[in-house]
Amino acid sequence: MSQPSILFVCLGNICRSPLAEAALRKRAVEAGVAMTIDSAGTGDWHVGRPPDPRAQETALRHGLDISSYRARVVTPEDFHKFGHIFALDPQNLKDLHRIEPSRHIAELRLLMDLVPGRKGTAVIDPYYGDEDDFEQAWADVDAAAEALVRRYLS
């Protein structure tokens, strides 16, 4: 079996998707599962910028430094590079389907579909929220990361 390759996609790639990337990196290392992991956004207004300071603070509370991450936009090449592309909400999944090439290897899914009882739901968008919203976003992406690692351990 080849190494899993996973891309997380939200709107601006500064809050939810970098947290998802960090959560899965942490879970994969703890479990000893090798994966290619990245994140991107469907919007381009934050390209090259680090994650939102509140996302960085949230990650640090969970033992992770994401200050070196930089926002980028999902590209057509991503649909060939990654086996799985997970949207963090239904609108971004629709946007991914709109831009996907006619032929590609990536399976497109909603991230929270991996978490029992959360099918069809979004990871909370904490951008306009407070620390509690960022913690809830972390809890969401960490639960999905745990489910992904379990999938590749079985």
Active-site residue, 70 included: no
Q: Interior CA angle at 14 toward 120 and 141, to 5°?
A: 40
* CATH (residue range 5-153): 3.40.50.2300
38, 78, 89, 125: the active-site residue:
125
15, 16, 38, 54: the active-site residue:
16
pLDDT at residue 154 above 80? no
pLDDT in tens, 74-101: 999 999 999 999 999 999 999 999 999 9
pLDDT at residue 152 above 90? no
Write down the pLDDT at residue 1.
52
pLDDT at residue 26 above 80? yes
Q: How are strands ordered across the β-sheet holding 84-87?
A: 36-41, 5-10, 84-87, 107-110
Alpha carbons 136 and 71: distance in angstroms, whole number: 21
Query: In the chain, where are the structural domains located?
Result: 5-153
The residue-averaged pLDDT of 22-27 equals: 98
The residue-averaged pLDDT of 49-71 equals: 98
- E-assigned strands of 13-127? 36-41, 84-87, 107-110
10, 52, 78, 95: the active-site residue:
10
Active-site residue, 10 included: yes
Q: Which residues of 102-128 are buried (b: 16+ CB within 10 A; e: fewer)?
A: eebebebebbbbbbeebeeebbbbbbe
Sign, CA torsion 8/12/13/15: negative
Lowest mean pLDDT among 66-70, 72-76, 149-153: 149-153
Alpha carbons 66 and 105: distance in angstroms, whole number: 28
Q: Please state the separation of Cα 62 from the chain's center in Å.
A: 16
